[in-house]
Structure 1
Amino acid sequence: MDNKYSKLQQQFLCCYPVNKMAWSTLHLPLQLEEQKQLIAATCGHALNQRYPVRRSYQEAFVKRLLQLLKDHEELHDDIYDSLCGQLAKATLSERESADAAQVYAYKHYLLPTPMTLRESKSFVIEGTTGLCTWEAALALADYLLEHPSLVQNKNVLELGAGTGLLGILLKQRSLQLQVGQVLLTDGSDACVQLMRENIKLNFAEEPLDFPLCAQLNWAQISEFNWQAYAAFDLLLAADVIYDDTQFEALLSAMEYIFERHENNLQMLLASTVRNVDTLHNFMQQLALHGFEATPCANVSACASHFCRDHTAAVQIVSIKRKS
């Protein structure tokens, strides 16, 4: 199959908002064979067949496609089959794990090696927001891919790693980023369990070099088993400062980690700008704790490796200890 539907395919597999998809790339009217190819590239894609994206998303995609094709005299049966299949789907495996099927689904990112993540369908579940990938993590992933020297031969620690996207990305062999040890941490046990599942999804053959993950409570950071891991050169965090009640614990954790590494450490922090006052407050607190933050340029939409909503403002800063 040619790649004339590659953009829609990429967007579909990572659940990009249906109303913002590249529908203009379709050259209407679509012949029956073209309709078949489009469905094969999206709903029928092998990744979606094995690890399906949210059922509600697939329904919305097909319904939008039907709207676009409403004036066509003929519609391919595969379109109706995709819609009816989603509406009526109730396989034995889903019945056996009904709760999990309702709570979790998959997203796929078509990098040189496709990356698959199992995620929560809800923003908040099990008392945490970390069970789905947030915009800031994608923005930071883009930034690292555009500046590979930042991670080359570096040992990386991520705070609030959530689904594990960044660490899994850094260890993708096809990207050849030559990163050292990668440790993904989160305070939520549910997030750590999900990270372990996602690591297995993407490193099925259990290679010698894959991301590690562990539970790390910022308020009890001195009790963590640091001796079990390499000394870190780079600290990452994405979307961890949306709640100002966590500032004190995060800043204390950062101070501990920096001091443990004799302040010879850099941190990259990516934050979706939801509340300007909250972000400004954190930057002030950073300065009071002896940190210096330098803004980093975001990766442009045309250079992005991901289908993400670039209308959502994300700020990336490089943080170091004041000399």
Structure 2
Amino acid sequence: MEEHGLDDPSLHLVSAFLAMEPSDSLISRARVCGGGLITEQVQEFIWDHCLSKAAGFHAPYLKNFLKKLITEVELEHGSVLDNLYELYAHHMTSIKDNSLVKSDEKVHKKISFLFPDGYSDLQSCPHSRVLVFPLQCSLNILEGDTGCSIWPSSLFLSELILSYPELFSSKSCFEIGSGVGLVGICLAHVKASEVILSDGDLSTLANMKSNLELNHLNVELEMPERNKNLNMVKCMYLPWESASESKLQDVMPDIVLGADVIYDPASLPHLVRVISILLSHAKSYSCRQVASDLAPNSKYGNGELHNKNQRNCEDLADVSAVAGTTINNYGSGDGPKEAPLAYIACVVRNVETFSYFLSLVDQAKLDIVDLTGSLKPASLLPYMHAYNEASIRLLRITCSR
């Protein structure tokens, strides 16, 4: 894959296959590779770079893709490679009934981040400009086991971390509702000083641990004394409704992250309470208490931030100003720490639920700023047709001062 340009449609095709994108998406990319047709040369490429290396791949997925591929070539009156017919026949005899596949069955995907021109100097960008993370996920995001699915906002936060590693490196980072662990893997990649992931579901936590190990990260399931092992990620069982203040105060992160955590109105008061406690206690910073008779200093909207933009910023200070962090402490353990902050990425699926979240944040006397138009990540997942960055809001939350 290193030999292909980052805009090469064949690279996008392989990346989409490894990520188990829908068959229609793969067919569309195959046509781009063949100039509109799925030629024999394109079929040979698919065989060499996808199918022949798919040992252990989810068999029903391969069967459906092969069926779609063969059907499309035949409709074009093209010649289908014998290898494709033979592999499809094998899957036809070995998989009798797709209905027997469990909806919560786990599959292995590989998420490839493709760094475009202008980003090769980032510390997060490998020499090949292709960064691949294997993940074990649930098969169907809509049928249970949602904590083991890859949600759009976790992809967005991962792009954000890899696009702005300077905002997260040497910082203690805590994620609420960590799901498959992709955000934590990206934080470890950019060398956050501490990565703590949490979830309130034990099966999700176990799957997350497996994904961290798949990516060669050491895992701690408890919270012992802090250490400097940058290859260590901590996992915490944290149901929001029963999370004790003393347990959360022991965490004291610089940055709190959350992806698609604004979904259940019943859980939102507990979520806001957790965020409030985490932001009110940092390593050497205490959030000033706001008198109960004062009006909350909550603000919402991108206001003064609208002229700032990701890598169009002239220097790191511009990026830092948009993100709400200070510049003088990056990479240094000396001097006072800036106040902790939270980045919450979400798709607004229900306006009433989102409004309820905003009202709870206001009641908790937290400041909230919409960074959606101001702090945009690079497009590192161009091969994902269904992933729409434009649908995702990025919120920054801090303690009122």
TM interval, short-chain normalised: 0.7 to 0.9
1:33 Cα deviation from its structure 2 partner? 4.4
**Of the candidates 238, 258, 275, which is equivalent to residue 254 of structure 1?**
275
Displacement of 1:305 in angstroms is 3.6
CA RMSD of aligned residues (A): 3.0
Per the alignment, residue 93 of structure 1 pairs with none
1:229-259, CA deviations, whole angstroms, 9 ceiling, x for partnerless residues? 6x31000111111111101111111122222
Does 2:147 match 1:130? Answer: yes
Question: CA offsets, 1:214-234, max 9 Å, x none?
Answer: 2112222227756876x3100
- Tell me how far apart the structure 2 counterparts of residues 256 and 168 of structure 1 sit (CA, whole Å): 24
The alpha-carbon deviation at position 60 of structure 1 amounts to 3.0
Give the secondary-structure state (helix, strand or coil) at the position aligned to 2:149: coil
- The CA deviation at 1:136 is 1.0
Equivalent of 1:117 in 135, 143, 150 = 135
**1:214 is the counterpart of 2:236:** yes
Identity percentage of aligned residues: 22
Q: Which amino acid aligns with 1:26?
A: C
Q: Taking structure 1 as reference, are residues 39 and 321 closer, same or farther at Cα in structure 2, changes over 3 Å only?
A: same
- Greater helix proportion: 1
Q: Which amino acid aligns with 2:61?
A: Y
TM-score, normalisation: structure 2: 0.68
Describe the shift of the 1:18–1:205 C-alpha distance in structure 2 as closer, same or farther (beyond 3 A): same
- Name the SS of the counterpart of 1:249 in structure 2: helix
CA gap 1:178/1:24 in 2 versus in 1, 3 angstroms: same
Question: How far off is 1:307 after superposition?
Answer: 3.9
Partner of 1:179: 192
Q: Equivalents in 1 of 2:70, 2:376: separation in Å?
A: 32
- 1:141 pairs with 2:158: yes
**Which residue is 1:80 aligned to?**
85
Aligned residue among 344, 365, 374 for 1:269: 344
Range moving further from structure 2, 204-213 or 259-268: 204-213
TM-score (norm: length of structure 1): 0.83
Contact 1:233 1:265 in 2 (8 A): yes
How has the CA–CA distance of structure 1 residues 143 and 247 changed in structure 2, closer, same or farther, with 3 Å as cutoff?
Answer: same
| Bigger Cα Rg | 2
Deviation at residue 274 of structure 1 after TM alignment: 1.2
Return the offset for 1:67: 3.2
Q: Which residue of 1 aligns with 2:69?
A: 65
Say whether the 8 Å CA contact 2:40–2:79 is kept in structure 1: yes
For 1:123, give the aligned amino acid: I
Equivalent position of 1:95 in the other structure: none
Please show how residues 1-323 of structure 1 align to structure 2 within 5 Å.
3=4, 5-21=10-26, 22-27=29-34, 28-45=36-53, 48-50=54-56, 52=57, 54-70=58-74, 71-89=76-94, 103-111=105-113, 112-123=130-141, 128-172=145-189, 177-203=190-216, 209-222=231-244, 225=247, 231-261=252-282, 262-263=286-287, 264-297=339-372, 303-305=379-381, 307-308=383-384, 309-310=387-388, 313-323=391-401
Output the CA distance in 2 between the equivalents of 1:291 and 1:259.
10
| Aligned twin of 1:94 | none
Q: Is the 8 A contact 1:258 1:265 kept in 2?
A: yes
> What secondary structure sits across from 1:130 in the alignment?
helix
Gaps of 5+ in 2: 114-129, 220-228, 288-338
Distance in 2 of aligned mates of 1:62 and 1:133: 24
Separation in 2 of the partners of 1:116 and 1:13? 9
Task: Using the TM superposition, name which of 73-82 and 204-213 deviates more.
Answer: 204-213
Q: Residues 107 and 119 of structure 1 are in contact (CA less than 8 Å); yes or no, is this contact kept in structure 2?
A: yes
- TM-superposed CA distance for 1:284, in Å, is 1.9
Shift of 1:31: 4.8
Gaps of 5+ in 1: 91-97
Secondary structure in 1 aligned to 2:178?
A: coil
CA distance in 2, matches of 1:251, 1:20: 38
Structure 1 205/160 Cα, relative in aligned 2: closer, same or farther at 3 Å?
closer
The DSSP-based 3-state class of the residue aligned with 2:193 is coil
